[in-house]
Amino acid sequence: MNFEAPPPLPGRWLARLTRVARAVGGILLSAGLAGCTITERPEPRTAAVRAEIAGKIAGIRDAILAKSAEGIVRPGTDDWSFTGPDGVTFDRKGFVGRTEALFARIVAIESLTTTVDRVELTSPTTADVEITQTMVRSERAADTGAVTRLWLHYRERHGWVLTPTGWRVRRVAFIGTPERRILATGETP
């Protein structure tokens, strides 16, 4: 048998075949990627924002341990607000007064663990943050003066905003109802 090379395709057929091959390749590539999820690497700015907010939350934790109501609201905006588990909202002044009264009854804060559960940048200038805190404290009852040792576990949602002086918290609200348990003397929670 004698095999001969096929005759060369005319130029226009070759150009058309090349266009069809590119189109089919593009369709196949698009179909292949349709089910893929692209994971973006967090940009350095996101990591810096998270670190700044976490640092300020650590400062709020330190203010609680120092029983400083003013220290708790220091990283807040002028229009800062706090909504408790009962749905009552306080502005800065109302919160400071309420918290100073509570701190006056606290005999000791044995421990306070604060975990930043989530920092989500919702825009270049806003972030939603969720934290969990667990505390063991002894407090004096306002009516009887009896001292009770308590274990508390609660979650908060914060709204943070970027200001000319950095990230500041604008609103704080409880998530759900705090867990609260009376501890016996020497009981480890």
Residue 98, domain CATH: 3.10.450.50
Question: What angle is formed at CA 74 by the lines to CA 68 and CA 77, rounded to 5 degrees?
Answer: 145
The count of domains in the chain is 1
- Classify residue 165: in a domain, yes or no: yes
Quote the CA–CA distance of 35 and 27 in Å, as a whole number: 14
- Classify residue 5: in a domain, yes or no: no
Quote the CA–CA distance of 114 and 98 in Å, as a whole number: 21
- Classify residue 12: in a domain, yes or no: no
SS3 label, residue 6: coil
- Classify residue 26: in a domain, yes or no: no
Quote the CA–CA distance of 21 and 81 in Å, as a whole number: 62
Expressed as residue numbers, the domain containing 74 is 44-183
What residues contact residue 124 under an 8 Å CB cut-off, 6+ apart?
Answer: 162
Tens of pLDDT, residues 63-116: 999 999 999 999 999 999 999 999 999 999 999 999 999 999 999 999 999 999
**pTM of this structure:** 0.75
Tens of pLDDT, residues 11-63: 554 455 455 445 444 443 344 434 434 344 455 678 999 999 999 999 999 99
